[in-house]
Structure 1
């Protein structure tokens, strides 16, 4: 295997303040994986909670390994090595295989420079930050498959799906390290450039996905929908009342997710500056408004405002503001958030109407709120949104990018799901009825005398 030689242009000085900021941001996003485990674990039934949590921790393990080996290279190596990517879809997976080259330096003492590729932080820290995004995206999918999927097949799926779907989509949106190089970015060969032209090699109307509405939430949401349609429903779906077994776990998980999400959104600025502060405020505003939007729907529809509804509203607001957090004003974020909460609260009922078993509402929350947040930039984005000083062009670009991502992920996820059928997706009906924790892990969460 021949690793790429790094050009001198890939090296530069670093800002130690921004470097510390990004290390903390990466740690915060990593915290979201156990936060998600608590959130999903609490929503599951007591006989399935360990399996549900293990699916998050399993993704944390498998994706961390493959990201260090080839995931970062597939996503971002062209921005460091100077090589061309492959049709705007992905970069060379072997160019930075193993990631050791990111620790290279040139010069000595006060003149020492690090691999930065134009950032103000070492590229190895950017890699660690992006690793956590890959982990949480794959882990999100697991909520749709609760209580019925073999853990071994899930682990194989995490590796294949991240390689074939997540890494390419990450490159298409954010490729070139600092963004814009892929098919869904702002470069001269991007879809956006074909729509409304270019100036100095950049699309005149660039897509906006600040922290992962397309790459993370639309991606995970549509993958979840495809999988539940192929794998099928739980035994008893439509006849059994599936109730959360531990609501305090759900609330704890939502709190950890909200806390970690500041690393997710604010860290995507890649530096501690004024825009980072704006993103923090927008993230908080949208999330708080989404709680109100979700609870308002519950009060009108069900006559009760629930704890699970508040926790779910938190997630819906966080999802929706993710792509838009750097493009909206605080007031725009409030509007986006309250609509996101209401939309997601209504959308979770679609599974009963259409008969698909999205166990923990990944489709209703992540896909629906992710689509709303991505499209809402074209309506509410400051100076670019149709309702906020702009025109229709940003909305068109956002819609095209979102629906391209939907189609790309749906097709490839379906192929992967069918390809893994010989391994067996489902546990037996007996194991599902008695409890997947005992069947898959030889453990139970609670020993009842």
Structure 2
């Protein structure tokens, strides 16, 4: 007899909407969402009573530099086989711990580095489907094709252009990242500055030949070059506002691309990562960007490996990072060096700053995130065929438990003492709401 799990006595969040008092079914063999069987008597059923709480897709973090002491870039040509084995053990442990925050999959982000680093670390980040830790969706390569004027904490000695005299831009790209196979098998996103020589010509190769996402970031580009990048296949902007020229009413810059009228349709507007930690972006500017194009906003943590560690000074390559509570910066400067806020807290911040519902905020790191990297048939939705990766939330917006491919895990996000308002006035009591397409609700009927 086939076995299924029925999640009941719960409300579902998907598509930016709340589906009240709706059950959800999972095939225990495939650990994928299925439609309600027509004859439940033919199945062995496990019932999970969520006692009135909320079930949403597992959160997706597409930009994360490290977690629980693990720097995703921390291997090089001097790393021995034993070093690599230890790194893999550390990686597995950190990905298990990060699952407790509600993030069920992420893009491990490798900041600007030398070729030997990419050769060593990228195979570790090959796309996975596991039931005991966060999945990797493929690496996010942030640099080294970036502008030194917007380097942030990236080491300038690693920076390169893509227009050498003795080889093609494509050859340079493959040389830096360890070859075509290393990119296709192990990478999801490449962030580069489009004004760097050769990059505009590389965008179609990145997006069409290699089938990766190209994102604008760490750039001094102007609005017009940004439009050229979109025409060439750019579909994303990395951590909006940060490491780019700030918008002016007569010179919109990269920020102006998020809702530019100079593209053929809204579908062609780029997704944009937004760090809602209250440090990287002022709440009013978060609200401005989100309200400008909520369907393309993707919350990211931009977390550094110091998240979860105590305050103090930490050596990072040849630099010193100072950790002071929720701030990270390069010693002796005001340059920010990544973030320390979890994705659930970013969601609650966005709710408060933009006065939106929990379901609208969750859309930014589930539906939008999955759509931004082309994985909506697998992750980030409660559609039939999607993985059984879920977060359970209470009505204050805190994650109370996590299900990874149907397996339950405890949450590290629970905090019942903070009173966050949860707005659910847009929730749909009737799943046949005409505003929801049939393919989006078929899994929850």
TM class, shorter-length: under 0.3
More helix by share: 1
Q: What's the TM-score, normalizing by structure 2?
A: 0.25
Q: What's the TM-score, normalizing by structure 1?
A: 0.25
